[in-house]
Protein backbone atom coordinates (compact mmCIF):
# COMPACT_ATOMS: atom_id res chain seq x y z
CA UNK A 1 0.00 0.00 0.00
CA UNK A 2 1.33 3.47 -0.83
CA UNK A 3 -0.12 5.28 2.21
CA UNK A 4 2.57 7.46 3.80
CA UNK A 5 0.91 7.28 7.23
CA UNK A 6 0.79 3.47 7.06
CA UNK A 7 4.51 3.53 6.24
CA UNK A 8 5.17 5.81 9.21
CA UNK A 9 3.11 3.53 11.48
CA UNK A 10 5.08 0.54 10.17
CA UNK A 11 8.43 2.27 10.79
CA UNK A 12 9.22 2.22 7.07
CA UNK A 13 9.42 6.03 7.03
CA UNK A 14 11.06 7.93 9.90
CA UNK A 15 9.11 10.40 12.01
CA UNK A 16 9.59 12.43 15.16
CA UNK A 17 7.40 10.33 17.45
CA UNK A 18 5.67 12.15 20.27
CA UNK A 19 3.40 9.38 21.59
CA UNK A 20 2.63 5.76 20.77
CA UNK A 21 0.48 2.96 22.13
CA UNK A 22 -0.90 -0.26 20.66
CA UNK A 23 -3.59 1.52 18.61
CA UNK A 24 -2.28 4.97 17.67
CA UNK A 25 0.87 6.90 16.84
CA UNK A 26 1.52 10.64 17.22
CA UNK A 27 4.32 12.42 15.39
CA UNK A 28 5.27 15.99 14.52
CA UNK A 29 3.98 17.34 11.22
CA UNK A 30 6.78 17.96 8.70
CA UNK A 31 5.05 21.15 7.50
CA UNK A 32 3.83 22.68 10.79
CA UNK A 33 1.16 25.37 10.72
CA UNK A 34 1.78 26.32 14.38
CA UNK A 35 4.67 25.96 16.85
CA UNK A 36 2.99 22.75 18.03
CA UNK A 37 1.60 20.68 15.17
CA UNK A 38 1.39 16.98 15.88
CA UNK A 39 -0.49 14.37 13.86
CA UNK A 40 -2.27 11.44 15.53
CA UNK A 41 -3.11 8.41 13.40
CA UNK A 42 -4.65 5.04 14.07
CA UNK A 43 -2.14 2.33 13.21
CA UNK A 44 -4.89 0.53 11.31
CA UNK A 45 -5.75 2.21 8.01
CA UNK A 46 -9.04 4.08 7.88
CA UNK A 47 -9.66 6.33 4.88
CA UNK A 48 -11.29 9.04 6.98
CA UNK A 49 -13.49 9.81 9.95
CA UNK A 50 -16.59 8.41 8.22
CA UNK A 51 -14.90 5.01 8.00
CA UNK A 52 -14.01 4.79 11.68
CA UNK A 53 -16.26 2.23 13.32
CA UNK A 54 -14.11 1.35 16.32
CA UNK A 55 -14.88 3.25 19.53
CA UNK A 56 -11.67 2.00 21.13
CA UNK A 57 -9.54 3.62 18.42
CA UNK A 58 -11.52 6.87 18.62
CA UNK A 59 -10.99 6.97 22.39
CA UNK A 60 -7.29 6.14 21.92
CA UNK A 61 -6.94 9.08 19.49
CA UNK A 62 -8.53 11.49 21.97
CA UNK A 63 -6.45 10.12 24.86
CA UNK A 64 -3.34 10.56 22.70
CA UNK A 65 -4.35 14.18 22.00
CA UNK A 66 -4.48 14.86 25.74
CA UNK A 67 -1.05 13.27 26.21
CA UNK A 68 0.46 15.15 23.25
CA UNK A 69 -0.85 18.44 24.66
CA UNK A 70 0.83 17.67 28.00
CA UNK A 71 4.11 16.59 26.42
CA UNK A 72 4.19 19.65 24.17
CA UNK A 73 3.30 22.01 27.03
CA UNK A 74 0.05 23.36 25.61
CA UNK A 75 -2.40 21.56 27.89
CA UNK A 76 -2.79 24.66 30.09
CA UNK A 77 -2.57 27.44 27.47
CA UNK A 78 -4.91 25.71 25.02
CA UNK A 79 -4.81 23.93 21.70
CA UNK A 80 -6.99 22.96 18.77
CA UNK A 81 -7.94 19.50 17.49
CA UNK A 82 -8.74 19.27 13.77
CA UNK A 83 -9.87 16.43 11.52
CA UNK A 84 -10.11 17.23 7.82
CA UNK A 85 -12.49 14.98 5.92
CA UNK A 86 -12.66 14.53 2.16
CA UNK A 87 -11.80 16.85 -0.71
CA UNK A 88 -13.88 19.83 0.43
CA UNK A 89 -12.61 19.35 3.97
CA UNK A 90 -9.03 19.62 2.63
CA UNK A 91 -7.99 16.11 3.67
CA UNK A 92 -4.63 15.70 1.92
CA UNK A 93 -3.52 12.27 3.21
CA UNK A 94 -6.23 9.65 2.78
CA UNK A 95 -5.63 8.05 6.18
CA UNK A 96 -7.66 9.23 9.16
CA UNK A 97 -5.61 11.69 11.20
CA UNK A 98 -6.13 14.21 13.96
CA UNK A 99 -4.10 17.44 14.11
CA UNK A 100 -3.06 18.88 17.49
CA UNK A 101 -2.24 22.58 17.00
CA UNK A 102 -1.02 25.07 19.60
CA UNK A 103 1.88 27.03 20.96
CA UNK A 104 0.50 30.46 19.98
CA UNK A 105 -2.80 32.28 19.70
CA UNK A 106 -4.63 30.57 16.84
CA UNK A 107 -6.99 32.31 14.41
CA UNK A 108 -10.60 32.01 15.53
CA UNK A 109 -12.26 31.93 12.11
CA UNK A 110 -13.69 28.68 10.81
CA UNK A 111 -13.74 29.82 7.19
Residues annotated catalytic, as ranges: 97
> Looking at beta carbons, which pairs linking 48-54 to residues 24 or more positions away fall under 8 Å?
48/85, 48/86, 48/91, 48/94, 48/96, 49/83, 49/85, 49/96, 50/85, 51/96, 52/96
Sheet strand arrangement including 24-28 = 17-20, 24-28, 36-42, 98-102, 79-82
Amino acid sequence: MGCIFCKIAGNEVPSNKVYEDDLVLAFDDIQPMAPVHTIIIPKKHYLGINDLDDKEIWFAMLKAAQEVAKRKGVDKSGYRLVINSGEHGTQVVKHLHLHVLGGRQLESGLG
